[in-house]
Structure formats: C-alpha cells, structure tokens
Structure 1
C-alpha cells in the first residue's frame, strides 16, 4: 500500500515538475497567461486543472491501449498526415530549444549572482542533467521527487509571510485591481493545451514503464491539484503587486526581496532547480522520441541533444523561442482538439 501511494505521489511530482519549469517558478508565466487578466484569472487557473486531469487521463488511456513509446506515437495516432508531422517537428524543435535556453539561463544566473563565467553554470547544468538522465525514468522520478516538494515549501512559505504581513486582503479588493488584457478564457485554454502537449513527452514513456492505469491517473489528478494550488497562490501574490511586477523578469523575486536575503536565495535556488527539472524532462522526452524513430540508443540520444543544445544556447535562441512559443501554442491547441475527437470517436 505504501509503495503504491509513494508511486502515485512520484507520478504527481513528475507531472508538476514537467509543467512548472523556471517560467512558472519565477512568476513570469503566470503573469503573462493569467495575472494580467485580473481577478478572473483565478477561474482560468481552475479551468486548466480540469484540462490537465481530462487530457492526462486520455493520454494515459491511449498510451496503454496502443502501447505507445513516445510523443511521436501519440501525435501520429491522433493527428495523422501533414498536420501531425508539423506538430511532431515543432514539438521536437521546441523541446530542444527549451533545453538550449535553459543552458543559457543557467549560465546567466550563475554569472549574475556569483560573478563567474557563464560556462560554469552551463557545465554544471550539463553534468547534473546527464547524471539524472542516465538513470532513465528512475532519474526523472528522483529529480522531481526532491525538487517539487522543495518548490511547494518555498512558494508556500513566501505566501504565508506575505499574508502575515499584509492582512487587508479580500475578494472585493481583488476585483478593484486593474486588468490589462481581455480574453482570459482563450489564454487559459491555450496555456492548458500547451502544457498538455509538453507533458505528453514524459507521460507516454512513463505509461510504458509503469503500466498501471489507476496509479497513473491518480498521479495526474494529484499533480494537477498541486499545480493548481501553486498557480493560484503565485497568481494571488502577483495580483496584489500589480503594476510593479510588470517591470521585473522574475516577478516573485521582487516580492521575495522584502523578506530578506535568505528567502531571496531560497527562491533563486528553486528557480535554478526548476530549470534543471525542465532540462531533464525536455531531453528525456526527445531522447525517447529519437530512440523510437531512429533506433538510436537512449543514452546516445541524450548526448546528441545536449551537443545540439550547447551551440544553440550561444546564438540568441531566445529570439527563436519568441517565434516558437506562439506557433507551438496554436499547434498544441489544435492537437488537444484532435485528441478529444479521436478519443470520443473511438469510445462511440
């Protein structure tokens, strides 16, 4: 019983760790997709929770039924033809691009706060990622089993400190906070679909390893609830600091600054660890895909992707990511619709 519960929580941690990344842990992602829409953003975050549970359960069902090995198999199943090839290509490029950007980000973070060469941060990220990835699925689970609880503790601590110091918070006040964008519903649907496609890269191989539908589905449910809890409290913290947060690349760091260096350093450590978690998830997803498509061994695929990511991280890949994010978001939304159509047609 204890082993089963531990496995369910580990699956939940992997789900959270794959979605969170440095973008959500820093507050920047929540700011862009939710906070700027005002108090209605809380409804959008809850909608995303239902999207994660529903789509996660569908992906698990299809993966187990059709014995899929990677996101390539899932995309080919629900989206055959040119659109499916485009989705697969964009997903692969996006994940490799994400890995490259994280290498650059790790270098920049270490350089900014410790004054050493950015290559120190890049080499550290590569080394720890290879160590984790060479443990295959076990490594993925171990990384997230440590990082995700740490993330929850640090963000919750920041939230409790803020609420303790600033008590004049109520629903009426939240409704008076100005919003800067409309179409919060569309933003929520795109964000949910975006994360579902990213998660499929980890969720599909995980199904192949675990093969217990009940455990997998419960893990996704726990992960979705945990993710929603994190997103809600981060969104509340950001909303209470509008419009000042719009000036900062790491909005949560601005909020943490008022509670002293220890909290600030804890948050920075968590952001780096979430970068590491995302790096491992991205490389793991693409490696499993290359293993299936081209029959390259998993370990060779890991090294190949890292070798591709290193030079790309040096040539301003952020500009390419700025193009890929909107394109990938649109493709993700279309993929989610196709997935739903395929699933319910098969059921009927």
Structure 2
C-alpha cells in the first residue's frame, strides 16, 4: 500500500511545506463566495436571477447576463490590481472614470426601467432623457457654471492669501 497523496506543493527552492495546490473545489468556493457577496445572501436566489434575465427575451437575456458577469469580473480585477502594489497599480483616474461611468450607466438603466414600467412608451425616451441630463450636468460643471453662489469670493480670498 502506498502512502496517501498530499496536497503540499514542492518546488526546487524548498520543500514548500504548508503551501497547498489550488483545487477545483477551492476555486468553486471562491467563486461562490464572490457571487454570494455580490448578489447578497438571501437577496436573490438562482430562480429570481434567472427570471430577471429571461424577462429581457431569449437574445437580450443572455447578453445582459454576460454583461453583468463581465462588469462583476471587471470590478474584481480592478480591486485585485489596485491592491497588487506599485508595480501593477492602475492609475487612480482610471479607477475613478470606470466607477463613475458604471454608476451613470446603472442609474440610467434603472431610471429607464422604472419609467418603462410606469409608462411603457417612455422607456427608451426616459433613458435618453437621463443620459442627456447627466451629460448636461457634467459639461456645465466642467465649465464652472455649477460651482456655487460664493465661489468667486473663495477664489478672491485664496488669491489674496497667496
């Protein structure tokens, strides 16, 4: 009878005591934990998720599911790269742009879904309206038109203090 197989990894540099090889069960457990924390334990079961994505139709449903999965993986990758250290660090502006773009898109989609439920004809029009409102806000903010009532006073005080 041979000795039982161990899961300890060995390498040319040493015995590797205490290191374990990744297994399929470990990868599945990590994936299940990631999905459970993303969706929320008890918030939605597989049946609710299936019903939600199937409601988009036989073509758009799987596409929406793939997009939701890709966005979830994107945020997982951004977080991993962000914590990886200075050698693989993503620029802060890229993280901010991705987060902001996702927030705007998700709010626009949510608004469109809400308006589409209440007024079915206005679903896509509502999406266009919210995108135009957000774009107008961003452009006006960048031009300084939305800087507040006393922004000139603060600018004068800052220049006189210098």
Calculate the TM-score normalised by the size of structure 2. 0.44
Larger CA Rg, structure 1 vs 2: 2
- If asked which structure has higher relative contact order (CA below 8 Å, sep 6+), I would say 1
| Higher helix content, 1 or 2 | 1
